Amino acid sequence: MRNGAYTLAFFAALGGLVLLMVGRSDGFETALGTVLLIVAPLLAGVGKIIDVLGYVQEGAAEPDE
């Protein structure tokens, strides 16, 4: 079971790096790039939590033997 949080995290990190490379040191691009680089691991963490909850739900749905 894969969710879209990992893909969003990847694109956020990629976009953040691009903005940091093209932005000036005091520009809006630099601030936005930094925010995207901070948000990317948070999105990956949310994806991991969703995966764990999915495994818990699948395990709870199976009958005991």
CA distance 65 to 5: 34
The answer to whether 27 and 58 are in contact (CB under 8 A) is no
Predicted local confidence at residue 63, as pLDDT: 62
| Confidence at residue 1, expressed as pLDDT on a 0 to 100 scale | 45
Verdict on whether the full-model pTM lies above 0.85 = no
- Asked if pLDDT for residue 62 goes beyond 70, the answer is no
Q: Where are the domains of the chain?
A: 5-59
Q: What is the C-alpha to C-alpha distance for residues 17 and 47, in angstroms, rounded to an integer? A: 21
16 near 37, Cβ under 8 Å?
Answer: yes
Instruction: Quick: pLDDT tens for 23-59.
Output: 888 889 999 999 999 999 999 999 999 888 887 766 6
